[in-house]
Amino acid sequence: MPLDLRRVSRFRSGSSVVFVAFSCFVGPVVAAAQEVVGVAACARIAEAASRLACYDKEAGRPLDELPVPPAPGEPGPAPPLANPPATTTLPSLSVPAGGGLKAPDATSVDRPAQLAREALDERRSLGSNLADRWELEDNYDRGRFVLRPYKPMFVLLADWTSNPNQLPTSPNPLNVATTSQRLTSTEAKYQISFKTKAIKGMIAGNGDLWLGYTQQSFWQIYNAAESRPFRETNYEPEVMAVFRTNYSIFGWQGRIAALSLNHQSNGYDQPLSRSWNRIIAEFGFERKDWTLTLRPWWRIPESAESDDNPDIKDYNGRMEMLLVRQSAGHEWSLIARHSLRGGNRSHGSAQLGYAWPISSYLKGYVQVFSGYGSSLLDYNHRQTRIGLGISLVQWL
């Protein structure tokens, strides 16, 4: 612990007072005699500095603070300046009418720092969601190659569907199932998702390169007749370049712009294989406790022979909107996708999520989905799903 000189000075002064008081009570006569003799001896010293040192000693001043008298022939200490230079003064103590001293206002001592803290608090209250999620400011930076949550991580202990996809199909004849899967209407579903920053400040200090991975699995845990198999697992690795932005539109603050290369597949052989590759743009906005993300994408074309799902854009969509509201530990989310086409090519989906705190980081979670594309194998299969479970991480 560093030495506090003010505390040492107060301790020494206080010890001298206690000693004098004790001496007065024990031997007032002896103390008085010693004081008279000591002061008288100091008065007989001719040299001023030595006489002052004697007085200080008799007064109980610590020895290490006593002035050292100059050697014979050396000049004494310089006299005080007639016009000392101006110095910075501390805020003065005010004496209220009722008596007593009043300490100076802390904000008057360091007002700029106080304003900076208030501005930071305001930015955090309005923009901490995306700033924290993507480390847009230095105070959120956690370094490179540190695993962080990406998309929500949850387990739906029961996920019920109105229409199990017993016989998946595709316009490619090689991807049409011929044997029924004999699925139950209720299964379990879980998702894990991580990301890590690989490169920081790619262009003029702005722009970070992120690596992301998301995995979503559907488990027929209640299907004892089929030995409780995993029905499907979707794997989604991606590379993302995320840039910090600062603009406002219709009251929404633009925080990020990103461009990513995304691959998604289920790892099956024919005829159940499903996959596609996309280039995704992303724009993130915030307004109070709301966060809005728009993600249009372009599918990288594949040859007709190798395309497992030629019409996936007309079902899984060409654009996604994510709207999230967070308040007091509760989080509401809406994910809406659409094909951006009309007529018989107009398809999409909507997913509602609600998470509420249970204890610490654990939350209860309910998810409702309706439309196309609940999984890759179900990209062109319409259904409604309702799931209930727990969540460790949500969007924000």
Decide: 188 and 156 in contact? Cβ < 8 Å.
yes
Please work out, in degrees rounded to the nearest 5, the angle formed at the alpha carbon of residue 166 by the alpha carbons of 160 and 168. 115
C-alpha–C-alpha distance, residues 265 and 119, integer Å: 45
Alpha-carbon gap, residue 148 to 214, rounded angstroms? 12
Tracing tokens 């007085």 back to the chain, one arrives at 55
Residue showing tokens 């929404």: 252
Report which of 277, 245, 242 is spatially closest to residue 258, judged by C-alpha positions: 242
Sign of CA dihedral 127, 128, 129, 134: positive
Pairing state between β 252-265 and 230-249: antiparallel
Catalytic residue among 265, 273, 306, 338: 265
Q: Rounded to whole angstroms, how far apart are CA atoms 241 and 208?
A: 6
Length, in residues, of the chain = 396
274 to 24, 87, 177, 266, 346: CA distances (angstroms): 98, 77, 12, 6, 21
Separation CA 145–CA 210 (nearest Å): 9
265 included as an active-site residue = yes
- Annotated catalytic residue within 263, 275, 333, 381: 263
Does residue 263 carry a catalytic annotation? yes
DSSP string, 165-206: -SS---SSGGG---S-----SEEEEEEEEEEEEEES-TBTTB
- Report the distance separating Cα 130 and Cα 200, nearest Å: 16
d(CA 11, CA 254): 58
| Residue among 177, 178, 155 nearest 168 (CA) | 177
Helix (H, G, I), strand (E, B) or coil at 282: strand
Structure tokens at 48: 């001023």
CA-based nearest residue to 354, from 318, 390, 382, 384: 390
Residues serving a catalytic function are 263, 265
